[in-house]
Structure 1
Amino acid sequence: MVGASRQLTLDLTTPPAHSRADFLPAQANMQALVMLDAPQEWPQGRMLLVGPEGAGKTHMAAFWAAENGARRVKASGLRPDMADQLAVQDGALVIEDADRTGRAAGAEQTLFHLWNLCGARDCLMLLTARTPPRDWELVLPDLRSRMQAMPLVRLGSPDEPLLAAVLVKLFADRQQAVSAELIEWLVLRMDRDLGLARRLVIALDRTAMAGKRPITRRLAAELLDNLSIAGA
């Protein structure tokens, strides 16, 4: 055999659980959850869900779509020829990562068309984004004005119990059993950032699998420091 041998690490993780039963209600997401459960109160049948990376937007959009028979599409993948099929009469539509609309060719025109079609066809429209519309770099004035006038609900920063519960779920999704003491230690030392929690668990899982080593406090401290420095 030519060259050094390499150890392959298999990714044996299960897909993240995105049902309502797997959702973790907390103070940070309660207002958003209440709004999602009352689409009949959305002005013109539209709602924008805003929150940082890892805050739960995808999870909420997934179970809302399942419960309402909604189609889901990424904003960056919107094309003009899709609009008529996505906006179904008396149906529902989820457009995720809408903050990327302004950087995707053809997406702005399609979103504007969908806005009009959904209104004409009584089709519910739920959008998710990391930032409010003023930061989307939209070019079309008519779309920009409509997005900025859209009703908005925010996901807040997680409290310690929610951060702990999310860490437990993330480790479970990757089939990693860790101690309650490690979870408590992490919660007391890391920022209340669910995106950071996701990146940390992925890094811990991959490092532990590659080195065939357990996830210890020492390993967690090392990777947490590295991720904190990288994000600074």
Structure 2
Amino acid sequence: MQGTDRSPRKNRQLKFDFPETGHTLDTLAVTDANRTAISLLKRWPDWRTAAFCLVGEKRSGLTTAAQAWCDLSGGSLLSAKALGKLSHKKISALAEAPVAIDRADKVENDDNLLSLINLSASHGGTLLLTGRQPPARWRARLPDLQSRLSAMTLLELGPPDDEMLRIRLRAAMKRRYLKLPEAVEDYVIMRLERSYAAIESFVKELHELSDEREVTIPLAREILDEMDGTRPLFED
């Protein structure tokens, strides 16, 4: 694919049911947890293959990253449901330019996904799929689709490291107009499960209790103890 013109084409960018986040690839928080993936997304014109898959756990920011990539590349962002409803003609038109499918692991119309992958390659387009798991583990009905998914290059938004955990914890607190005292924040960072969903669960519980109780280490410990061994409340 070297030498292929991947410059964004005018009047092609579309968004299907995705609100603006205000983020670009330059404003997203970057740590060792996601540095490689974000760097490669920024260098999309240099991709040597037509399609990549971005994977990450719940609340890891897959949709935000895909939207930021589309804003940079001039691409279109579609949900799995929207892709399933498109005609072959529309898929062919989309495939001529950058396009991202959010939560492509939930696509039920295998024929449309296979067509998009094939047409992106033949038209010189660029395709970004996002999903919870590597595409080789998706349940594709068509053998040809399974083969293409299994061969797809992976980018990963990894579990939060300490730096990302602190950044995302502060962001979640800010959204709820809360602030952790430094000592409490350090306590939580050392003990909170390393997952994005756990961050949201912790802040939700803290918000519900903070009107009646002071934000202290004992309160944080109580919430963490209640969360221990339970599934996070939030799913992206």
* Shorter-normalised TM range: 0.7 to 0.9
Identity of aligned residues (%): 27
Match of 1:112 among 111, 114, 128: 114
2:160 aligned counterpart, secondary structure: coil
1:54 aligned counterpart, secondary structure: coil
Aligned to 1:223: 223
Aligned to 2:131: 129
Distance 2:223 2:60 in 1: 21
Q: TM-score, normalised by structure 1?
A: 0.79
Is the 2:95–2:126 contact (alpha carbons within 8 Å) kept by the matching residues of 1? no
Encode CA deviations 1:131-164: one digit per residue, 9 max, x unaligned: 1123211111111100111111222332212211
1:97 aligns with 2:103: yes
Counterpart amino acid of residue 143 in structure 2? P
Aligned to 2:12: none
Aligned to 2:33: 28
Q: 1:59 to 1:181 in 2, by over 3 A?
A: farther
Distance 1:78 1:88 in 2: 10
2:179 aligned counterpart, secondary structure: coil
Distance 1:226 1:195 in 2: 15
Is the 1:16–1:173 contact (alpha carbons within 8 Å) kept by the matching residues of 2? no
Q: Which has the higher helix share?
A: 1
Aligned to 1:166: 168
2:100 aligned counterpart, secondary structure: strand
1:69 aligns with 2:74: yes
Is the 2:25–2:42 contact (alpha carbons within 8 Å) kept by the matching residues of 1? no
Distance 1:126 1:63 in 2: 12
Measure how far apart 1:83 and its partner are.
5.2
User: Number of aligned pairs?
Assistant: 212
Is the 1:80–1:109 contact (alpha carbons within 8 Å) kept by the matching residues of 2? no
The equivalences for 1:185-196 within 5 A come to 185-196=187-198
The gaps in structure 1 that reach 5 residues or longer are 1-14
The gaps in structure 2 that reach 5 residues or longer are 1-19
